[in-house]
Structure 1
Amino acid sequence: MQKVIITPCHLEGRVTPPPSKSFLHRGLFCSALAGDLSLCEIPASYKISVDVAVSLQCLKQLLAAEKSGERIILNCRESGTTLRFIIPVLAALGIEAVVKGEGRLPSRPLAEYEKVFGNSGINLVLPGNGKFLPLEISGKLSPGTFHLPGGVSSQYFSGLLLALSLLDSDSEIVITTPLESEPYVNMTLDVMKHFGVAAKRTERGYLVPGKQQYRTDKQYVAEVDFSQASFWLLAAYLGHDINVENLPERTSQGDSAFSSILKEFLKKTDDVCEIDVSQTPDIVPPLAAAASASGRTAKIINAKRLRYKESDRIESTLAMLHSFGVHAESFSDGMIIYPHKLPYSAGVVDGAGDHRIVMTAAVMATRASGEVTINGSNAITKSYPDFFEVFRAIGGRANELDLG
């Protein structure tokens, strides 16, 4: 395990966030389905995150198995996106596989795929006892109508959309309850469109024509990541002189809402600021940090799915806030954050094995009354491995220690 010691400091400079992890996942999957992983650009300057590397490795194995017909063993490590995308793609291609995971991933729900694939030609064997991995998958997916509740991870929808277009005839995804995190599904549709594959949004859900082929004559280039930009936008909100560059003016990334929420915090009113994060759950940690410094009471709602992330992100965000001396309370699907006058308290923060907690805590620590130690700082490798390099380049004081 690693830890980092942050000394209060002033940040100043220009930051360009890395390519969007979400878009890179989708670009790599579409490239693999087009038969050539190089169709998705991975910039030479990009320090590849663990999650993207996991997708890349699993897709290389998938392409090899497609040619050989052999059974494969895939390790999705801790990448929920890789896992929920690869299962329906394996099913559509008829590739027999064992899929494994690490950390909290084996406990993250997959039950919806059991239901979806119930009568579709797929055999899924799960371990049970509250665990969903390792799983065994065999058979070949048949076209049909697939029902999914909108409150489950949007990754189920994205995985099915990627896969159903490969089948011999048309299919439909029926959304049985209001769809949450729809911007992530729109991102999937955007990347599919780049590769010449279409699906139609309907009142019931999505219609996906069959017999489509992934192809493109132009390499896919992912735009920068608004999720990672949120940490630098938080820094600017907390009083640092940071310019975040290359953010697209138009985007399907739902996390681009972070900037408008910060503007809402600036309104001078005593009203409680209620924030529905059903479409943007990943920005909750930096959002909660910004709320604490806004001078207003904030209530974050519709965040229940955060309990199944790399950590129980409602409770780990709450624990992080408490470590900084912020008064906050959690409830079943969200939290209430009360105004806190800067500086934050010095001390120790548990990174909870969660990249977003570590990066949020690092930014908050710059405005603390003394040194802050963040345990488990190596969690950043999941999405933004050079975060602390960028942090130091703009004046951050971070001493990383490897505890072995």
Structure 2
Amino acid sequence: MKLKGSFKAPGDKSISHRIALFSLLGKGRMQVNNFSPCADCASSLKAVNLLGGEAHIFGDMLSVEGALGEIKDSRVDCGNSGTTMRLLMGLLAGRPGEFCLDGDESLRKRPMQRVADPLRQMGAELICEKGNAPVFIKGKELKACDHTLSVASAQLKSALLLAGLQARGVTTVREPAQSRDHTERLLTQCKAACNGKNGTWQVAQSELDLPERYWVPGDISSAAFLITAALINPDSRVMAEDVLLNPTRIGFLKVLLRMGADLKIEQQGNHPEPWGRVTAGYTPKLEACEIMAEEIPLMVDEVPILALAASQARGVTIFRQVGELRIKESDRISAICSQLSALGVDIRVKDDDLLVTGPAKLKPVAELDSFGDHRIAMTLAIACALAENQANIKKMESAAISYPGFQDALNGLMA
């Protein structure tokens, strides 16, 4: 399979979530261009409207009116979106009213206790039986806290900062390692009392002034699948245009460069976050490398597709301390091991490390299973294209959770 041409990934999912949800505390009207069309962000939009906000989508343009914190008692279906649920836990904990956050079968299995516990230290009243959804919240006045996160998690950090935005005093949040910083950037752009450095962030009670206009760069985590596909398919060269280049989101590109990938990264702008073009060309001699534990939070969504890239590299690639991937939309470690093994890849788990030995010649199979996980589904689609194998991928439609046009984009580059 040969891939040629350029593509634009849909608007970044992480940024789109935050724009929608922050409007519940904000004031003013905002027009957002290139808002993500994915199913997860649709869950956030539904939540905003149900809670009393005003969000209307027209193609990829979102019009949103700040709700000024005037939020209705509601039972919110967060679908498959952990971001929607965890950020709303922090946001609603400080608002008057009673709320219930629920989701699909997958979301009900993901841990919410790690969010609930520090919020309770701030005076929040939350119930999540056995640490999972549904989450019941009775909003009340919050007090500031000084909290060190047990894991590097942008969702947990964001929930605490949103609660701190409504709490008495100055809330301090410390990270054990750097994670995505979209919340901090957007809070600053909305003129919140938020500042920080070196993994420590502080926020105080303040209003959010929504920018009149906002443009969302393309989702680099979605683009990662097509970028990697070009690197491992002979005679391929693709360009991802207008894509997010936030330093906390391009960890996977840094790993690919260490592996010797033919990559060119060109920053073309810095507002609202760094963005630009990534060009990727077939690299027949990728070399294995070691990915350290502190790097994983900056590429947590790209580990499955990086594992496929590692299967085509010479030597043993080691992903250190990837246990956090067991509690995503699926047990991603088990899923990627079982499915790449079925394709003939030497891949195994040792303690919490993932080891991939390459290069491997992928073999044809009749069926593969995404386990309903969008990142696994897209990884398997790229693997099948590499193997020139028309396998049936169970629940391939789950790709729409983050990249609704994935198959069309892939087919367009193959034309």
Other-structure match for 1:26? 18
Mapping of residues 5-404 of structure 1, within 5 Å: 9-35=1-27, 39=30, 41-43=32-34, 48-63=37-52, 70-128=72-130, 132-151=132-151, 153-175=153-175, 178-179=176-177, 182-184=178-180, 186-201=181-196, 205-210=200-205, 212-239=206-233, 240-248=236-244, 250-252=245-247, 254-266=248-260, 273-276=289-292, 277-395=296-414
Contact 2:311/2:359 (8 A) holds in 1: yes
Where 1:118 maps in the other structure, the secondary structure is helix
- For 1:78, the aligned partner's letter is N
In structure 1, stretches of 5+ residues that fail to align are 1-8, 397-404
Contact 2:90/2:119 (8 A) holds in 1: no
Other-structure match for 2:281? none
TM-score normalised to structure 1 length = 0.85
Q: Give, in angstroms, the shift of residue 222 of structure 1.
A: 1.5
Q: Give, in angstroms, the shift of residue 62 of structure 1.
A: 2.1
Where 1:167 maps in the other structure, the secondary structure is coil
Q: Give, in angstroms, the shift of residue 151 of structure 1.
A: 1.2
Residues 143-152 or 317-326, more deviating: 143-152
Deviations 1:89-130 (A, max 9, x none): 0012223101111122112111123322335332212233xx
| Structure 2 CA distance for aligned equivalents of residues 216 and 47 of structure 1 | 18
Cα 1:142–1:315 change in 2 (3 A) is same
Cα 1:370–1:154 change in 2 (3 A) is closer
TM-score normalised to structure 2 length = 0.83
Residues 384-393 or 335-344, more deviating: 335-344
Contact 1:27/1:40 (8 A) holds in 2: no
| Structure 1 CA distance for aligned equivalents of residues 18 and 192 of structure 2 | 13
| Structure 2 CA distance for aligned equivalents of residues 285 and 125 of structure 1 | 33
Deviations 1:340-364 (A, max 9, x none): 3435434321111110111111112
Deviations 1:192-251 (A, max 9, x none): 1121114222568322122x1111443222111110111011111013232222235x52
Contact 2:43/2:84 (8 A) holds in 1: yes
Residues 268-277 or 79-88, more deviating: 268-277
| Structure 1 CA distance for aligned equivalents of residues 38 and 93 of structure 2 | 27
Instruction: Name the one with the larger strand percent.
Output: 2
| Structure 2 CA distance for aligned equivalents of residues 360 and 34 of structure 1 | 38
Residues 337-346 or 78-87, more deviating: 337-346
Other-structure match for 1:401? none
| Structure 1 CA distance for aligned equivalents of residues 397 and 309 of structure 2 | 23
Contact 1:281/1:306 (8 A) holds in 2: yes
| Structure 2 CA distance for aligned equivalents of residues 155 and 305 of structure 1 | 13
| Structure 2 CA distance for aligned equivalents of residues 330 and 54 of structure 1 | 34
Residues 336-345 or 75-84, more deviating: 336-345
Give the count of matched residue pairs: 375
| Structure 2 CA distance for aligned equivalents of residues 310 and 362 of structure 1 | 18
Where 1:338 maps in the other structure, the secondary structure is strand
Where 2:201 maps in the other structure, the secondary structure is strand
Residues 233-242 or 81-90, more deviating: 233-242
Contact 1:288/1:337 (8 A) holds in 2: yes
Q: Give, in angstroms, the shift of residue 41 of structure 1.
A: 1.1
- For 2:246, the aligned partner's letter is T
Where 1:63 maps in the other structure, the secondary structure is coil
Other-structure match for 2:268? none
Where 2:392 maps in the other structure, the secondary structure is strand
Q: Give, in angstroms, the shift of residue 17 of structure 1.
A: 1.2
Cα 1:105–1:141 change in 2 (3 A) is farther
Query: Taking CA–CA contacts closer than 8 Å with sequence separation of 6 or more, which of the two structures ends up with the larger relative contact order?
Result: 1
| Structure 2 CA distance for aligned equivalents of residues 47 and 140 of structure 1 | 32
Where 1:26 maps in the other structure, the secondary structure is helix
Pairwise CA RMSD of aligned residues? 2.6
Contact 1:66/1:95 (8 A) holds in 2: no
Cα 1:18–1:98 change in 2 (3 A) is same
Q: Give, in angstroms, the shift of residue 148 of structure 1.
A: 3.9
In structure 2, stretches of 5+ residues that fail to align are 54-66, 262-283
Deviations 1:34-70 (A, max 9, x none): 145x625143xx6711100001111122235988765
| Structure 1 CA distance for aligned equivalents of residues 384 and 198 of structure 2 | 46
Cα 1:264–1:202 change in 2 (3 A) is closer
Q: Give, in angstroms, the shift of residue 367 of structure 1.
A: 1.5
